[in-house]
Amino acid sequence: MKSKIFVFPWLFAGALSLQAQMNNIKFVEYDLPNGLHVILHEDHSTPIVAVSVLYHVGSKNENPERTGFAHFFEHLLFEGSDNIERGEYDKYVQRAGGTLNANTSFDRTFYFEILPSNQLGLGLWLESERMLHAKVDEKGVETQRQVVKEERRQRIENQPYGSVLEESLKRAYHVHPYKWPTIGSMAHLDAAKEQDYVDFYHEFYVPNNATLSIAGDIHPEEAKQLISQYFGDIPERNEPYRPSVVEPPLGGEV
């Protein structure tokens, strides 16, 4: 009996995986002239829409002396913009009955809003503000610096075995930037100047380094018009830094 209980979740997970592979999810994709890649998926089953922007910047794109920047920006870019007052970003979504969040990995930073479908324009406006002229200033940097420090204390420094991933990475990788965790070094964040953050933003938070995805209760042609309205005039910038480091074989125990 115990073995059946143990096996069932794995069978269930396998069935879900197979079903997902069998689903033919139709989508439209194209690029704006400024390099922004767009993916649209139409689904009228519920009157909601998900708006997400994935930036091709993660911890692997960081300066080894300024680790933690990608994750730091995940926090910083909720501070507001030229047209959104500090601390008001979340409130726009909440007042519209939606939700939002973001996350960072070695390879990308991902932001999303889930909104009633009649609020698609709001989601696009918010993300275009983040891309075009987010607040990157000393006040926001210092606020989020303290937030990230507390996150590190809670998740790593004050947790049993909290540093196991960090210790494993620096042994598994000797030269590749995967060798440091996404949360990075607090000493690096403390040492960074405001201009360091501004430069990082202008290099990586650009349309030609991003993918905009919209899924849900949309009409693609209407969505395309809104996308052009909010993102079409954002200028393309130089190609961001992408590491080409090749990690040599370990050749033994680490």
Question: How is the chain split into domains, by residue range?
Answer: 34-231
SS3 68: coil
pLDDT of residue 3: 44
Start-end of H helices in 77-193: 89-95, 120-133, 138-152, 164-172, 186-191
Query: pLDDT above 70 covers what percent of the chain?
Result: 91
| pLDDT over threshold 60, residue 7 | no
CATH 3.30.365.10 fits 34-231, yes or no: no
Closest by CA position to 67, among listed 136, 169, 171, 210:
169
Closest by CA position to 152, among listed 198, 191, 189, 193:
189
Closest by CA position to 85, among listed 126, 51, 49, 55:
126
pLDDT in tens, 88-142: 999 999 999 999 999 999 999 999 999 999 999 999 999 999 999 999 999 999 9
76 band by pLDDT with thresholds 50, 70 and 90: very high
| pLDDT over threshold 50, residue 29 | yes
Identify the sign of the CA torsion 36, 144, 125, 39: positive
DSSP state of 173: -
Identify the sign of the CA torsion 198, 201, 204, 206: negative
Distance between CA atoms of 233 and 33, rounded to whole angstroms? 9
25 band by pLDDT with thresholds 50, 70 and 90: confident
Comparing 2-6, 47-51, 208-212, 241-245, the range with the smallest average pLDDT is 2-6
pLDDT in tens, 216-231: 999 999 999 999 999 9
pLDDT of residue 1: 42
14 band by pLDDT with thresholds 50, 70 and 90: low
pLDDT in tens, 148-190: 999 999 988 888 988 998 999 999 999 999 999 999 999 999 9
- For residues 210 and 11, the model is more confident at 210
For helices 220-231 and 120-133, angle between their N-to-C axes, nearest 10 degrees: 30
pLDDT of residue 16: 63
> Quick one: 254 exposed, middle or buried, by C-beta within 10 A (0-12, 13-18, 19+)?
exposed
